Structure formats: C-alpha cells, structure tokens
Structure 1
Amino acid sequence: MSLSDWLLEKKNLRAKSSTNNRNIAIPDGLWVKCDKCGLLMYYKALNRNSKVCPQCNHHFPASSQERITQILDIDSWQGINNSLISTDPLGFKDQKLYGKRLKDMKNKTGLQDAVQTGLGNINSIPVAIGIMDFRFMGGSMGSVVGEKLTRLIETATEKKLPAIIICASGGARMQEGLLSLMQMAKISSALQRHNNAGLLYIPVLTSPTTGGVTASFAMLGDIIIAEPKALIAFAGRRVIEQTIKEDLPTNFQTSEYLFEHGFIDLIIPRTNLKQKLADILYLHRNHVNN
C-alpha cells in the first residue's frame, strides 16, 4: 500500500468513527446541571441527596411524591381524600377552558389536584401531612386544595396527631374566584380548632410560597420552618415597589430575610428536614405526655 493510499484509508476511518459517535444518543434526564453553580450531576446522585446540589446547596423543585419519599418512613404513607376533584363552577376561560386545563394537569402530573394529603410516620412518630405540588397549576389553592387540607387538619384533631403542611404555591386559584379565597378562612378555622386541642402544627415553606397561602395557613404554625433561599411573599416585588415608591433589598422575600425579621422560626436544608421534624415532634410528644 502506498503512503497516499494509507493516508486516505486513515482519513476514511476517522470520518466513519466521527459519524458513528454523532449517532450515539444520550438519553434525556440522565445528567442534571445546577442552575446556580453549573455543577453537572448524575440524576440518581441528585435524587439521593434529596434534590439538593452537593456543591452550592441549591434546592431543586421537588414533587409531592418525592417529598413523601424524603420525609416519611418507608411504606408508612396512607393517602386520604384522594378522590376529590375540582369542577368548573364559574365556567371560567382564559387562554383555555378551566375544565380543559384541569384535565391537562391531571394527565401531565398524575395528580387529582395541587395537594396530596395523608397519614404517615416520621421516625416512627405518627403525623397528618399535606404536601402541595407546584407542578399542578402552580400549586394554586382552589376548592379541592382547601377542602383536602381542612379535612386533613380535622382528621389530625380527631386522632390527636400533629399536622404538617409542605407549602409550595403561587396563591389562590383565580379560575375559581371567591370560592378559592374562602379556603383561606376555612383552613384557618380548622387550624384554630386543632390548636385549641393543644396539638402541634408545623408549616414548611418551600419555594415559592406566595399569595393567599402565605396570608393564611403558611404563617399560622406553632413553629414555622423554611427551606434555604425560598421565595416567600404575599404580593410581588414590583407591585410593592410601585406601591411604596421605594426600592426593596435584594434579598427581600427570601427565607433568610424573613428569618432576620422574625417572620419564620427555622431555616432547615431539605437534607436535614426529616431529622429536624422528628426532633421537634419527639420533644412536643414528651411535653404533652408529661
């Protein structure tokens, strides 16, 4: 083989190899890049760390099902009121019919609405727990979310259990109008009866917790916990700045800002949340028993 033929063959082999490499498909979702620090992680490693970046401690969004796995003891979850579904009492339409939007959300998330409620154990301590899911219409609070949380709290009161609500919501669901706003008072009344029975209620504020949720049950806890750097607010930054005609601090409406000003009691990373909840529940149970 001449030198020119050998070089030509090598060139063809390199071209073929390059083409083969381009055709190798890497499945989506295997690797996750941190939005804050840019660290590239294998998705299973991220899930094992409760969806918290091991380098910068950025908390990725977590679904209600993922939080059930993260917080509760294995096989202790018992969902309640799973059959409740939203209707369209106002015949509301924005970019699409509200009924169609609900159907799309159910198909996309596998959920009936924006909260899962149930009973379970945290380090063998029984609790009643509600977990909001931002994937379902931004975790907005409509009639079903309000009814499920109210029934959860009433069950906790009847069974003399501590109640925990993991908050993740854009606020009241505008497609249900006044009916959504009524849920604020309904849930708050149930919490008052729960409190009168001497029982513990802990809201855990995740990012985001805003609007009518912040204005009601998210801020009515005996101990209010938040995840680091969570967005916690009632109205948006721009609305407030336009109203008061002043610029707000850069960290305004974050967990850290609210902690400094006494609005929340603890900031706990998600990786430590289960153990810290167990510690609080244990201390409260012993106090009540004594």
Structure 2
Amino acid sequence: MSVRNTPEPPADPDLFTAEWEEWHRGKDARLAAEHGFLAITGLHWLTAEPQRVPDAPGLWSTGPGGVTVELEEGAELLVDGTAVRGRYDFGFVPERGGVDAVWGDVVIEVAKRGGHHVVRPRHPGHPLRAAFGGTPAYAPDPRWAVTGRYVPFAEPRPTTVGASVEGLKHVYDAPGRIDFRLDGQELSLTAFNGYTPGGFTVLFTDATSGVTTYAANRSLRIDAPGPDGTVHLDFNRASNLPCAYTDFATCPLPPAENRLPVAVEAGEKIPHERGPVNP
C-alpha cells in the first residue's frame, strides 16, 4: 500500500475555514434540535411483559409482531399524522430503523437496535438540551485533509462491532477499505456504507481518544470515490456520535483494525457534557 498524501493548501483559506464553521454549526444544530439526541430522557428496553415507560403514556411491550402500546383511557398518540387510542401495534421496525409517535410536545421514538426493541422519549425541555452550549473542536487545519484510495473487497464483509451499551452488538457490511498516508505513516480504515450514494462512513479511534477526543469512537463521512478510487478524507470533520453526549444512545464502536496509531488532532473534542477537555 502506498498512497501519496501531501495535502495541498486550499485555494482560499478563508473559504476553507468558513465552510468548516458552517459544517460545525449545522452538526450542533441537528444534535440540539427540538427532538434531537440531546432531548432524549431515557433508553428503555422492551420485553414481552408490558411496562410503563417514564415520560410516555401507556404500557409498552414487544413480541413476534413487534412493539405494542396499550394506552389508558383519554391518552392519544399521533403516528404518521393519525391519532391512535387504546391498543396500537407498531408492526415491523427494521434494524437501525424507527417510528416516531407524537404525544403533545414529546416525540416517542420506537426503534430496533442490535435485534432489540427500544423506546426513547424525546422532550424539548430536557436539561441536557437546554444547557447545551456547543461542541468543542480543534481549529480547522488543511494539513488534516488528505487524499486516499478506496480498495473494494471481493465481497462485502459482514463486520460485527460492539456498542456504547454493554453487551449490544451491531453488524454492518463493509464494502472495502480506505488506504491513506498521515503523519508519515501508511494507514488503512475499514469502511461501512455511508449516507450518500456510493459514499462511506468510517468509525475510528486514534492517539487522542480519551485524552482530548471522545474515548469510544469518532466518525468521518467520505464521499463516493472517483473513477480511479481516489477519495478525500477531511479529518477536520471527524465528529462525535450521540453516545459522546448521552448515555441513552446505542452507537457502534469501531472495528479493531480502525484504531489509528497517530494523534489526529482535528475535528470534534470531548463534549463539555462529559467533563473538562484537555488542551
């Protein structure tokens, strides 16, 4: 593996910084949205035994047909814009999928994670959201924006990784790896399918993890490769997953091979919510 990675200075350094700042503001805005991750008040694992869920009406359970709620008289949820009362079956919820039920100004997320059904109420007034002041981050620096090469596997590899919740496992298809050079070292990251057509997501840790950046993981989105497999990795946009802010997330951990031996002093740092950040 040999990848040239001498970063070229951006044509307009001011534009480079402005675009990064816009990205960072947008990331924090989505996180702190009215019903974003900072609004979650609890993570509740459902069983066949009906249970009450704090901050939500009714009795909740799961079975072969999926999640069911039994609402008390006078209680009402809105699901896909339709009012439901009494007993309601949410039906099939795919892995990593979810359904939102609205209860007043609260959104109750019904989801499936690691093969288990969960319920997560999201309250706009949750103190974690109300107190959020933004995510600390390294100042953007073009030296952390490098060129790499995507190397597809012969077949996508099912890859099992741990989660921020002890005992939970996630399985992703890894279509290939990304080779690149950073701080004079030849490196590689296993890539998962991303959120844009042909794009990728990589989960990683590095020598800053647990020191200035969140210990468990960070994430980097990468656009689809060019015709020759060239990809662009901008570690200035290495971002925290929701588990960096709240214990009510089920975020995946990086595969073992994605533990970089270098200190990636770029991107988002440990959130204030998790304690002081070292310089």
**Shorter-chain TM-score range:** under 0.3
Normalized against structure 1, the TM-score is what? 0.23
Structure number with greater Rg is 1
Q: Between Structure 1 and Structure 2, which shows a larger proportion of helix residues?
A: 1
Q: Between Structure 1 and Structure 2, which shows a larger proportion of strand residues?
A: 2
